[in-house]
Amino acid sequence: MENLSPATALGRALWALLLATLGSTSGQPFGGESVCTARALAKYSITFTGKWSQTAFPKQYPLFRPPAQWSSLLGAAHSSDYSMWRKNQYVSNGLRDFAERGEAWTLMREIEAAGEKLQSVHGVFAAPAVPSGTGQTSTELEVHSRHSLVSFVVRIIPSPDWFVGIDSLDLCEGGRWKEQVALDLHPYDAGTDSGFTFSSPNFATIPQDTVTEITSSSPSHPANSFYYPRLKSLPPIARVTLVRLRQGSRAFVPPTLGLASRDNEIVDSLSGPETPLDCEVSLWSSWGLCTGPCGKLGAKTRTRYVRVQPANDGTPCPELKEEAECVPDNCV
């Protein structure tokens, strides 16, 4: 018999309870909402590919404690009555916990409540974490004609409250299921933590802000880890691909919360753009004392230091020391 840790056993039990609850309501219509007219059920494989490399995102790229990586993927197949997250809206307590700390329990309970009260969630799915910025993880999901929308989130680690995901992607198109969908993903700020950098300490945003997309110029602050003013837009930090599975494909298996799995892998050979990173230097220091012999011009110096080393053919650093002539105050 398989020996399970208490955490794994609890995770499986909670998933089983959640799926059983959702399964009892998934076939019931809700109100007068229009539904997809495709075949009642469809199964998809979903593959998440991280593209968070040091060449594409060289600024403050996390190498240690912890290095760049992705959390487990958590998603749901649902109707339009449910929203996991939405741009320009406030996140729920569950998504706040997930975006800030990777804790999924509150978010799972919120999904369960939506399935019970609104009959809006058909099923949940999860994929293992990716222990690197570049890598892949995958799982399978099932959608229903009344619940043809798919949403998911993956936390960016480390970060204050940043994540990637999709919101209410409709896999039904008229009277048929889409065969394949591929989307580039960009980072979002959950609006609950005010940190600017990957390693910022916890500093709650009060009052809470809405979900905003992080761009190469927003937040417009040099300390921002994604601030690349030379770029019109950030390169994709991740990509998701959904492929419809035909009859006879491997059966849909409810996921567990275990982070280790054969379905995730590190991909070191993923090619991506090389984002130029310009050198950044500090302000000049104050001028030093003017030194020199009496009756002659002396010299004074000031210095500055490198704040960000250039990368990928970015603008090189300027001189860090400057001298100027002066008249000595205390000559020798």
Q: Which residue intervals of the chain are DSSP H helices?
A: 6-23, 93-101, 105-117
Q: What is the pLDDT of residues 52-63, one digit of tens each?
A: 999 999 999 999
- Domains annotated for the chain, with CATH where assigned, are 42-244 (2.60.40.2130), 280-326 (2.20.100.10)
Q: What is the pLDDT of residues 59-82, one digit of tens each?
A: 999 999 899 999 999 999 999 999
Of the segments 154-163, 247-256, 259-268, 270-279, which one has the largest average pLDDT value? 154-163
- Give the integer Cα–Cα distance in Å for 323 and 79: 68
Q: What is the pLDDT of residues 208-221, one digit of tens each?
A: 999 999 999 999 88
Q: What is the DSSP letter of 216?
A: S
* Confidence grade of residue 281 (pLDDT, cut at 50, 70, 90): confident
Residue 329 tokens read as 């105050």
274, pLDDT greater than 60: yes
Residue 180 tokens read as 């394949």
Across-strand partners of 11?
Answer: none
- Give the integer Cα–Cα distance in Å for 219 and 225: 10
* Confidence grade of residue 28 (pLDDT, cut at 50, 70, 90): very low
Mapped onto helix, strand or coil, the DSSP state of residue 116 is helix
121, pLDDT greater than 80: yes
Decide if 317 contacts 279 (C-beta within 8 A).
yes
Residue 283 tokens read as 């302000």
Which run of H or E residues covers position 307?
strand 306-308
Select the more confidently predicted residue: 282 or 265. 282
- Give the integer Cα–Cα distance in Å for 250 and 72: 22
The pTM for the full model equals 0.75
**Residue 36 amino acid letter:** C
- Give the integer Cα–Cα distance in Å for 32 and 92: 26
Residue 106 tokens read as 């509150």
- In this structure, of 31-40, 95-104, 283-292, the range with the lowest mean pLDDT score is 31-40
